[in-house]
Each structure stands twice: as C-alpha cells, then as structure tokens.
Amino acid sequence: MSDPAKNPFEQMLRQAHDMAKAFNPALESYSPVDAMRGFEALWPTMPKEVMEMMFGNTVNPGGLDAKTRLLLTLAGLTCQGAQADTAIRQTVRHAIEAGAKKQEIVETIGQMSVFAGIPAMTRALELAQEAMGENEEDDQ
C-alpha cells in the first residue's frame, strides 16, 4: 500500500484490475461499474400485480400494500447510508411500478435525512433520480 491516503477498497480493486490486465490485455477497458449497470439491466421490474401478490395485501389481507413496503425498503436503504446503489435504483423502479408517485419517493428519502444524515439522503436522491429518469412517465 504505497499511498495511505487511498481507500483500501479502491487499492484492492486497482490491484485486481492490474492483475486482470496482466492476464488478459483486452481487459484494459473493462469497467466494473459498467459491468454492474449491465447486470442490473438484466433484472426486470416486476408487474404491480406480482408485487402485490408476493409482498402486499394478497398474502396479508389488511396489511401493508406493496407500494408502502417498497417505500419502507427505500427508507431503510437510505438509513444504511445509501451504499447499495443497485438496490436503491431497483427499489425506486419497483415502487413506481407499484403506484408510488415521484413526490412520494422524494419525500421518503428526504424524511430519512433526520435519521441517516444529509450525505446519505443526497446519495439516495441521486440514485433515485437516475432510476426515475429511466422511467419516461413524467406525471408521477
């Protein structure tokens, strides 16, 4: 570890990347971030009816609906420091599919600033904005 100012995780990734390039020079242009985004795109958004059946009132009559459960999940992911980029983006996409309005998503994340702090809220809002930008329906 020649540069103590660097994050140890970043150093580990850099070493792994350098080793992969030594084994296969074609990996020079490989980006783990791009690879994760590609992998994320393989996971489809569940239809609202499926989410309601699995997570909502179908299984638990009188309980929380799928939209509320997804907003709670989003709140929890934000409180954990908004470190799970893929999970936040997927939760936002699923929440929209379950009927959540963009304003409800923003308010859910904003409320968590009290518990998780401004940096976590800001990061979660950035990730949510990415996911909401992928959804073309502007009226939500």
Which tokens is 15 given? 């070493």
Domains of the chain: 39-134 (1.20.1290.10)
What's residue 75's pLDDT? 95
DSSP 63: S
pTM over 0.85: no
Per-residue confidence of the chain (140 residues) as pLDDT tens digits? 455 556 787 888 788 878 877 877 766 666 666 666 666 666 667 777 777 777 666 777 787 888 998 999 999 999 988 888 888 999 999 999 999 999 999 999 999 999 999 999 999 999 999 999 865 554 44
User: How crowded is residue 55: how many other Cβ atoms within 10 Å of its Cβ?
Assistant: 22
